[in-house]
């Protein structure tokens, strides 16, 4: 499968890239700074230099031969306002132009789904991110709203809570089970599930929580 990965240099992105290559997929990455990718990985992928906030760069990273897109862009205190939403907007436009159908993205438990089991723990997650991580909360809300309007795209989301560094462990749950701020998952297991979702329609147009 020919995959374009956004966010390849982050914790989740590195896991996605390594696991995709191990599975034999052909990967294109869009990077502002290609040197951030280790040399042994750069030689195994198609690197497009550019910024996901630039629509032209996003188009360069995609083509009519692209089978699917993986979105692993993270947000921190230095991120511009609307980062994930704006990059997603450019991706959706490029997908429609090139006829690409599949997008698997990583969100977070702070965006509550109507399918979730609402609990004290989930309410605390939303309260905490809204008050102390407002940028991330607003951006992810805007991103998921864009996707929910995109019925013509085969998107699937995954929502980890506390994502930790680590490889594949297995034994995780995917669904709309009760969760809290203590719910954990390794980047390796999150990446594994996202790669499975490339060819699995179980959660089409939905964004389940992933946790142990």
Please tell me the total count of domains within the chain.
1
Concatenated DSSP letters of 125-169: HHHHHHHH-HHHHHHHHHHHHHHHT-TTSEEEEEEESEEES----
* Domain span including residue 59: 2-211
pTM above 0.85, yes or no: yes
**pLDDT reading at 132 higher than 60:** no
Percent of the chain with pLDDT over 90: 67
Q: Give the pLDDT confidence score for residue 179 in this predicted structure.
A: 76
Q: Give the pLDDT confidence score for residue 74 in this predicted structure.
A: 84
Question: Span 5-19, mean pLDDT?
Answer: 95
DSSP symbol at 190: H
Please work out, in degrees rounded to the nearest 5, the angle formed at the alpha carbon of residue 104 by the alpha carbons of 211 and 162: 25
143-181 pLDDT per residue, tens: 989 999 999 999 999 999 889 999 999 999 999 988 777
Domain with 194 in it: what CATH number? 3.40.50.720
């Amino acid at each position: 499968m020919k995959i374009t990965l956004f966010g390849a240099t982050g914790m989740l992105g590195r896991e996605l890239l390594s696991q995709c290559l191990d599975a034999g997929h052909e990967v294109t990455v869009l990077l502002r700074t290609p040197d951030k990718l280790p040399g042994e990985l750069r030689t195994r992928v198609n690197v497009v230099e550019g910024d996901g906030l630039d629509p032209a760069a996003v188009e360069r990273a995609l083509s009519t031969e692209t089978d699917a897109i993986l979105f692993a862009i993270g947000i921190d205190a230095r991120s511009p306002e609307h980062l994930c939403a704006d990059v997603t907007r450019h991706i959706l436009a490029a997908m429609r132009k090139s006829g690409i159908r599949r997008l698997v993205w990583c969100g977070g438990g702070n965006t509550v789904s109507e399918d979730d089991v609402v609990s004290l723990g989930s309410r605390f997650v939303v309260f905490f991110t809204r008050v102390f991580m407002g940028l991330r909360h607003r951006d992810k809300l805007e991103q998921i709203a864009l996707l929910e309007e995109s019925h013509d795209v085969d998107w699937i989301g995954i929502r980890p809570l506390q994502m930790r560094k680590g490889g594949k462990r297995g034994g995780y749950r995917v669904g709309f089970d009760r969760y809290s701020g203590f719910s954990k998952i390794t980047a390796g297991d999150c990446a594994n599930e996202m790669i499975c979702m490339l060819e699995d329609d179980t959660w089409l147009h939905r964004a389940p929580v992933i946790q142990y």
